[in-house]
Amino acid sequence: MTIQVGDKIPEGMFTVMGAEGPTGVSTADIFSGKKVVLFAVPGAFTPTCSAAHLPGFVVHVDDIKAKGVDTVACMSVNDVFVMHAWGQSANAEHLMMLADGNATFTEALGLVLDGSGFGMGTRSQRFAMIVDDGVVSLLNVDAGALEASSAEAILAAL
């Protein structure tokens, strides 16, 4: 079942690159008591994700935070090293780059994308959500092109 507005974020873990290397961060650490914009991409360094989706949030992160958002986080079913390198290459130092390497959290959300036709295996659908203290208040899932999950769409919804 796909997560819906009003649902609590499932418990889970991500990997992020810390000062001393890869480290785990829980959903409780990210979402509890905070307003968070979480957006997900099918893959780091892929065309739309790198040319438009991530850059939109890099450009608008300050505007989004000015609307009361504590954290803007990018998630992908990639390993922590790829997510870290992608974040560095995109100047995304003000975003939290979350690796869901085994798609565990993506599966818990019910937002899996079968990318095996492209040799990509299990991935995340392209989406963005606003989460208030662990509860989803907005969920925008793109059916095809980047539209509903763009930084501009989320900024307009805040």
* Residue 116 placed within a domain: yes
Q: Which residues are catalytic?
A: 49
Report if residue 3 sits inside a domain. Answer: no
Residue 62 belongs to some domain of the structure = yes
- Is position 7 within any domain? no
Look at residue 87 and tell me if it is in a domain: yes
pTM greater than the 0.75 cutoff? yes
Helices (H) and strands (E) in the chain, counts: 6, 9
In the predicted structure, residue 121 carries a pLDDT above the cut 80 = no
| pLDDT for the residue numbered 87 | 97
CB atoms within 10 A of CB 2: 12
Domain contains 29: yes
What total of structural domains would you count in the chain?
A: 1
Tokens (6 digits) for 45: 């360094």
The CATH number that applies at residue 63 is: 3.40.30.10
More reliable by pLDDT, 107 or 143: 107
Average pLDDT over residues 63-69: 98
Report the share of the chain in percent with pLDDT over 70.
Answer: 100
* 1 located within any domain: no
Average predicted confidence (pLDDT) for the chain: 95
d(CA 15, CA 122): 17
Contacts of 89 (CB under 8 A, 6+ apart): none
In a domain, 144, yes or no: yes
Signed CA dihedral, 80, 132, 154, 1: sign only: positive
What is the extent of the structural domain holding 90?
Answer: 13-157
Measured between alpha carbons, how far is 48 from 90 in angstroms, rounded to an integer?
13
* Tens digits of residue pLDDT in 29-55: 999 999 999 999 998 998 888 888 999
Produce one character per residue of 86-111: b if its CB has 16 or more CB atoms within 10 Å, e if not.
Answer: bbeebebeebbbbbbbebebbbbbeb
Q: Nearest 10 degrees: CA dihedral of 4, 15, 53, 2?
A: -20
